[in-house]
Structure formats: structure tokens, C-alpha cells
Structure 1
Amino acid sequence: MPDDLYHRDILAWSTAQAERLRRVAAGGRVNDLDWATVIEEVGSVGRGEAQAVDVLLRQAMVHALNIAAWPGHSAARKWRNAITVLLVGATRRFSPSMAQYLDVPDIHAAARRQVLDLDMRALPEATDLPPAERLDESLGAEALIARLAPR
């Protein structure tokens, strides 16, 4: 089935491919399975989940850095609440095999660059957040802010 349905309607394509795979799993013969794209899509599912965790962690760090740099800002409460939501989301989506793909120093550097573009005061160049703690459920907003605050 190497036509342009994948590009025109991904939901219709995935539904059709899933049905064909079910027929193959049941012992049926299927000649129009888009194997190359199915293989690529299966491979990309995990990468997409790891990327989603990366984005959630980066956004949590952006908010924590905002608070660290502007603790009295009127948006600080909103940022603190967002940190909690983002960390919970990252923790829920995280699986142990993702650890090798999550580069906390790189995530911090990206968040820092994003915050520095806001013309904020000096922020630490690195974080001492150990890899084991990056998605520990006990790492909440306050702990993340404290770890990222200038010393």
C-alpha cells in the first residue's frame, strides 16, 4: 500500500495498516502492507515518547529558572504550578529505557538559553541534578527551583 494515504490522512493510514497487521497475525496473507513505513513508524514511537519527556523536563526547568531569576515576579506562582504539572507529566511518560536518551545537562542548557533570551540575570551554567533524581517523584517544584537557583 505504498500510496500517499500516509501523507494525506495518517489516521486512515494507521487504521488500515493495523487491520492488515491483524490479518497477518491471524495467519492471513496480505500483499498491500506498507512495510517500510510501518517499520519506521514503530521505531519512531519510542523516540517520540522520549522526546516528549525531554520537552516536559525542559519546560519545567525553564519555569524553575524563571523563578530562580525572578523570585518576586507576578507569574512565579503560575510558573511553580506549571513545574508540578510538567514534572508529573514527565514522570508518567518516562520509562527506564529512555534514560539513555535523556541528556539532563543538554536539557538544562537548552532551558537556560531559552530563559537567557528573556534578558534575565545571571543563571548557573550547569546543574548538579544527578541523573537518578531527574525523574524521581520526590523532585517537586521547590527542589527543582533550589537546584537551578544562582548561588
Structure 2
Amino acid sequence: MPDDLYRTDIVTWSRLQADRLRRHVAGERVNDLDWEHVIEEIEDLGNSEIAAVTSLLTQAMVHALKMARWPASTAVPHWTGEAVNFLVQAQRRYHRSMAARISVQQCFDDARRTVLATPGDGPAQPIPDRTDLSLDALMDEEADLRALIGAIGRAPA
């Protein structure tokens, strides 16, 4: 296997490594596994799943905060649908093991910065500078999605 296959063709590299791992599990002595990169890719896979949930949650918050910032906009129904969709997708990809690595406040801060830098449609309303929503509340698949989206745009009590 060329030394640079990992850098030049990750798809072929991953298929070769998967084949070698299967042979290893079947009891064959396999000496040419690229352990360093296999370990790195497994780690990256978990990190990318966390990044995906964080991104989806942030996007849900962006749309919820747009609704709060410009409540009279004709885009509110669209933003509502987008916020709900992003939240549902985040919930679908979320696993409890991610909790320690996802900061709701950081997602909120990123969303708030985005909304404050976005030109609006009509007079802008103030939006909260923090949220008291927990990750458990946001990832609760039994929760009322519209109520969660609404709560994102309201200042904590």
C-alpha cells in the first residue's frame, strides 16, 4: 500500500483497512494495518458526530432567534419550520455520551452572534443574551417542539 494512500484516496484507504480488520477478526495474521490512521479516523468519527449535533442545534437556535428578533416578518413560518427541522435532526443524531462535549450556551452564543450580524426584515426586537434551556430539555424527543423553539427566543426567568 502506498504510504500516501491515506492522504490521496481516503475512500480506497478505508476500504482496504476495513478488509484487513475483517481478516484480522477472522483470525488471519495481518501485518499491514495502518493503526495510527485507523485510530485517528475512529476518533474523528466521534468528533464529527458531536460537531454535527452542535451545528444542528446552533442552526435551530439561529432560526428561533430570528423569529424573536423579527416577529412580524413574513419569514416567521419558514423560520419555524427550519428551527423545528434542525432540532428534530439534532435529536435524532444525539446520544447521551455526547452531553459532556456539547455546550448549549456556546451554541446559543454562536446563534446569537449570527442573528445580530444578519440584516433583518423590519424593526428588530431585542433578543436574550443567554439561555437556561438544558441539553436534556432540547434533546427530549417527547417535548413540544414549538414550545422549545419559542423558549430559545425568550429571556430566562
Give the TM-score taking structure 1 as reference length. 0.92
Per the alignment, residue 136 of structure 1 pairs with 140
Structure-to-structure mapping, 1:96-115, within 5 angstroms = 96-115=96-115
CA distance in structure 2 between the partners assigned to 1:12 and 1:115 by the alignment: 41
Deviation per residue, 1:21-75 (Å, 9 max, x gap): 0011111111221110001111111111111000000000000000011112121
Alignment counterpart, residue 131 of structure 2, candidates 127, 131, 134: 127
Deviation per residue, 1:75-102 (Å, 9 max, x gap): 1111111111111111110001001111
Moved more, 9-18 or 59-68: 9-18
- The runs of 5 or more residues in structure 2 that have no matched partner are none
Structure-to-structure mapping, 1:57-136, within 5 angstroms = 57-119=57-119, 120-136=124-140
Match of 1:125, SS state, is coil
Letter in 2 for 1:13: W
Paired-residue identity, %: 45
CA distance in structure 1 between the partners assigned to 2:94 and 2:33 by the alignment: 31
Aligned length: 151
Letter in 1 for 2:152: R
Query: CA 1:2 to 1:32, structure 2 compared with 1: closer, same or farther past 3 Å?
Result: farther
Match of 2:29, SS state, is coil
RMSD: 1.7
CA distance in structure 2 between the partners assigned to 1:50 and 1:145 by the alignment: 24
User: What is the Cα deviation at residue 132 of structure 1?
Assistant: 2.2
User: What is the Cα deviation at residue 131 of structure 1?
Assistant: 3.1
- The runs of 5 or more residues in structure 1 that have no matched partner are none
Per the alignment, residue 41 of structure 1 pairs with 41
User: What is the Cα deviation at residue 2 of structure 1?
Assistant: 6.3
Give the TM-score taking structure 2 as reference length. 0.88
Per the alignment, residue 146 of structure 1 pairs with 151
